[in-house]
Amino acid sequence: MMEDRKLHAKLQLPLPSGTQQADAPPSAPGQPLDADATGPGTASVGTIDMGLSTPSVSPSPRRHAGSISQRPDSPHVMFPGAVKSAFSHTLRFEQPSTYPALSTYRAVDQHGVVVDPEFKPDLTDEQVVKLYRDMLTVSIMDLIMFDAQRQGRLSFYMVSAGEEAVSVATASALAPEDVVFCQYREQGVFKQRGFTLGDFMNQLFANRKDPGKGRNMPVHYGSRELNIHTISSPLATQLPQASGAAYALKIQRMQDPSIPPRIVAAYFGEGAASEGDFHAALNIAATRACPVVFICRNNGYAISTPTLEQYRGDGIASRGLGYGIETIRVDGNDFWAVREAMKKARKLALQDGGKPVLIEAMTYRVSHHSTSDDSFAYRAKVEVEDWKRRDNPIARLRKWMEARGCWDEAKEKEARDSIRRDVLKAFSEAEKEKKPPVRTMFEDVYEELTPDLKSQMRELKSQLERYPDEYDLGEFEGGRETPEYAIPDPSRPTHFGFETVTEGEKRERVAGVFTSVAESYDRMNDLMSFGWHRVWKDHFVASLNPGFSPLTSGPDPRGPQHILDIAGGTGDIAFRMLRTAHVLNGNPSVRVTISDINRAMLTVGKQRSTTLPASQQAALSFVEANAENLTQTRPLHPYPSPLEPTSPDAHGNPEQAFFDPATATSSIPDASVDLYTVAFGIRNFSNIPAALREARRVLKPGGVFACLEFSKADRFPVFNALYKEWSFRAIPLIGQLVAADRDSYQYLVESIERFPSQREFRDMIVDAGFVVAGQGWEDLTGGVAAIHKGMKPRD
């Protein structure tokens, strides 16, 4: 098998005088080039044998200077810096031209004919077709994106034409758990590992679905899910990062051998090898024996600088040997050669606890460097056309597939047509998406905004308000939602009833109000709504029909459902939800998390929950949290986390993760909630836009935000006047008589008056990124209360 083939050195190192040179290569210095067998930037091409060149330094244990001494009459150097070098009595400077160039391994030639007699494909025809389609997809997408940039629809793009085999073939030999660092011509790596066309387009358009939130240049992709670090523009910076990551993986396995072995794959072009970071990366990887494979795409040009002007040595592979790294040079236009080399390299990188390997893939950059470049200013067009005609990696693999009988012209046409349609569809959808909210330019640098960032936000807000016609914010999610008010700020002014206070002060005073009224909460709502709040809550829950989830896949919609009830401390809504789901809809897999910022309200709810059936109690959890920041929640008691999946113990029973209620916190993850409800609570929030943004974050795509709140009965002036008269005159007085707390009830009445109208609140929900149906709300009892709903768009 290929993997078991004996490694042999292709680079002949100088030997002591009088010593016979063994295993001399078949080519001699100065032998003419076979242009079809190699890319630019090499001095010669070798045999069809795949051989990893191994440095002449043996992988001995770490040396210490004190352990080495130069013995008298020894024929070899024993100095710490050059062990086992033979002494010579001839004064001679070594000439690079004396030694043959490293050979270039090839498995299949440009005609699609297998030239390595030991090569046997390890993939099924279906797997090969899938990888071929990945290469086609990259090629077709590149052409469309290049044209789109020329049309002004994209700001920038980089094409990888002629280099598709290097990225797709190497990626196909990696494990999903391996960690990848790319440069900016590795679209094929992303595609092979699962990056969708939508993922590409969202990043290119920097829209609201871009995980990078529009902060990176186009083609600077990244994916945490696929273990690919985000691409950065500065040349070669990813290489020392890759060595460091590989060293970390090695340390992890040393500490816990049960962790599956992983490597790091680092991609770069030959131009990046001129940077100091390249040398630092290889040296630390070699001296620390890091499990990393460096993959160099030697495509002949560093932007406009040809390899002849970049270096005088034997390409990049010779540098690997200089750093004591096992190295191979392969034909980068040969999919199978690249894949075989990567398979072997990965296996080597995991040997002996880890070690680096260097692959130099010889290819040719058919495209311009980028859309900012015109390569015909520094190379002849006939040169490019000759490479496209004579040796194209896609055409070479296609010839091999056709000879094998798994591909033909009809399949080629169908594949190209369908891929083109898919690319254009993803392009059109991404182009229509809005940009991320303006506020995101300030986020994710610090956990909390610094005073400088807050000042910058206020300055931007002032600029936008001063020149509203100069800045079109319609294409941004949230539109003219001022960024300053999208993030909680304890020092920012807000209202507490009719008073102006800071957000931090309001939070404290609201907490005081609900601590005061916790025991009489239902009585308070009875007084404020003439008892109608019970009817409204029943209608609210019935309209949501919990336990019958539209997100459930399969024919039965009664699947698992997670409901997050915000400001639901006493459990009124949550208990109704569980009863409807478990009893009426017969779905015991529905669970509800009650979240409230006020511990006293949660305690009342916890006490009341003891009257529920055991099955409903088991599906109920209580967490203390601020709705404006659900990344920090605290269980009411040492409860199992309601948001983290539990794993079975040895007996098959779910293990329970317990928390210390005094210190433990957890986060409600992104896209983890099916239904988010808040009833008679959102008007008390210090920062409603921030709370809506958090609601959108925690909801799954297609998940529903539902709010029941006191509202405006402006459509019925007489009724509205009577209701306000009752509210402002009677309710505070009753609060004084019933609960000895006039101020709390006065605030609650004022908070209703200050809450936005139905239309204004609907617009806030839309600005937060939700989709609403119809007018966006349902009035109850003439508008005294209203139900608002919004859906998080599906990806």
Q: What is the rounded CA–CA span in Å between residue 690 and residue 488?
A: 6
- Whole-Å CA distances, 395 to 338, 391, 431, 574, 745: 15, 8, 32, 62, 78
Q: What is the rounded CA–CA span in Å between residue 789 and residue 778?
A: 9
Extract the runs of DSSP E, i.e. beta strands, from 569-628: 590-596, 620-626
Q: What is the rounded CA–CA span in Å between residue 222 and residue 87?
A: 52
Q: What is the rounded CA–CA span in Å between residue 458 and residue 477?
A: 19
Q: Which of 432, 307, 361, 365 is nearest to 158 (CA)?
A: 365
Q: What is the rounded CA–CA span in Å between residue 693 and residue 790?
A: 12
Crossing angle of helices 521-529 and 532-544, rounded to 10°: 100
Give the 3-state secondary structure of residue 254: helix
Q: Which of 229, 159, 226, 519 is nearest to 369 (CA)?
A: 159
Query: What are the φ and ψ backbone dihedral angles of 780, each rounded to 5 degrees?
Result: -125, 135
Q: Residue 549: count other Cβ atoms within 10 Å of its Cβ.
A: 26
Q: Which residues contact 442 (CB under 8 A, 6 or more apart)?
A: 449, 453, 456, 457, 483, 487
Query: Is residue 629 marked as binding?
Result: no
> Token digits for 289?
């024996």
Query: Is residue 98 marked as binding?
Result: no
- Whole-Å CA distances, 636 to 114, 600, 605, 633: 68, 10, 11, 9
Residue appearing with tokens 């001399």: 24
Query: Is residue 526 marked as binding?
Result: no
Contact at 8 Å (CB) between 170 and 342? yes
Query: Is residue 283 marked as binding?
Result: no
Q: Which of 269, 193, 191 is nearest to 227 (CA)?
A: 193
> Token digits for 728?
């402002």
Burial of residue 572, with CB atoms counted within 10 A of its CB: 0-12 exposed, 13-18 middle, 19 or more buried: buried
Burial of residue 26, with CB atoms counted within 10 A of its CB: 0-12 exposed, 13-18 middle, 19 or more buried: exposed
Q: Which helix (H) or strand (E) holds 506?
A: helix 503-517
Burial of residue 611, with CB atoms counted within 10 A of its CB: 0-12 exposed, 13-18 middle, 19 or more buried: exposed
> Token digits for 96?
């690079």
Q: Which residues contact 109 (CB under 8 A, 6 or more apart)?
A: 36, 37, 115, 334, 396
- Helix extents (H) in 699-779: 717-725, 731-739, 742-754, 758-767
Contact at 8 Å (CB) between 165 and 132? no
Contact at 8 Å (CB) between 162 and 364? yes
Binding-site entries: 570, 596, 626-627
Binding-site entries for S-adenosyl-L-methionine: 570, 596, 626-627
